[in-house]
Amino acid sequence: MSDALTTVAPDSTAPVDRRERAAFTSSVGLVAVIVAATDGEPRALTVQVAGQAPGRDTALPAGPLVPEHATLERGLRAWVEQQTHQRLGYVEQLYTFGDRDREGGARGVHLLSVAYLALVRELRPAGLAEAAWRNWYRYLPWEDFREGRPAALDAIEPRLMAWVAEGGDAKLRRQREDRVGLNFGTGGTWNEERVLERYELLFEAGLIPEAHGQAGVAQHDDAAVTGQPMALDHRRVLATAIGRLRGKIKYRPVVFELMPPAFTLLQLQRTVEALSGTRLHKQNFRRLVAQQGLVEETEDVTSGTAGRPARLVRFRREVLLERPAPGVRLTPTRRPG
């Protein structure tokens, strides 16, 4: 799978031999992390791709930047609609991945991928048979603390400590131990935003299939621990998006881009929990939403379900003008351990 178009690089002032400069090429691809939250589960839109190792044929919607695309974002929207039949609403540029010799690039080509984060208000049919919505914890199972400590961590942490012990000298072992403690909370607090850092640490330690290049194939029995791999470096892109979104919901009301026009406070809480990967204290959450003035009641209530009808609310857009950072701070019911 290629998500980029090869083009000749412009001249550079760097001291590069003329023949080397003429042979140097670069390519630019566009990748979309499209997120929806339905029934209390976070989902990412994926596509099936051919030509990948078994078990690594799932990818994010992607395609090359071509001359017909007036802008990067227009190119992204065009590829997504072509591959998934999805028309995107909220979109923001996420990150540019440009490490030399990235997997998926041709030899001698510097492959750049511009990734975008897109939020879909509600889960709609994916469109093509090759496109499907999948729970993002399928790919990063160690990130979901909603039902307590993930079982994946019980298997991952001993492997990480074995990697620490393999350090060639005391200084390296200490550095590795500090990084494991910082990112996986073994020596303190779990930071839900450090999703990319945890993925990259597992990559560096050789504990996930992508660390072994195209030959890295996930073992079926190990998928619950190390997660389902993706084509190219798309799982790294997904980890970047999750970390960005977890941080952003605390100071911007982006979570409402995922909500229907009217919803219950419980539905809002379940969506925030799905994104953050942790359970929240119900009363504290509702008190925070009320204090921040994030929602307003409608005249409607839920119907047709068991239990007491609940009042439907909607996002109060005036809050965007009233304060600079109207986000949802997280108050977990218990501290992950």
- Compute the average pLDDT of residues 276-282: 94
pLDDT at 101: 53
Indicate the pLDDT class of residue 7, thresholds 50, 70 and 90: very low
Residue range 254-322, CATH number = 1.10.10.10
Report the CATH fold assignment for 4-137.
Answer: Nucleoside Triphosphate Pyrophosphohydrolase (3.90.79)
Q: Mean pLDDT across the stretch 65-80?
A: 92
At residue 203 the predicted structure's pLDDT band, cuts being 50, 70 and 90, is: very high
* 114-123 pLDDT, tens digit each: 999 999 987 7
pLDDT band at 103 (very low <50, low <70, confident <90, very high): low
Residue extents of the structural domains in the chain: 4-137, 140-229, 254-322
Per-residue confidence (pLDDT) for residue 317, from 0 to 100: 87
Per residue in 208-248, pLDDT (tens digit) is 988 877 555 555 567 788 999 999 899 999 999 999 999 99
Q: Rounded mean pLDDT of 237-260?
A: 94
At 127, the amino acid letter reads G
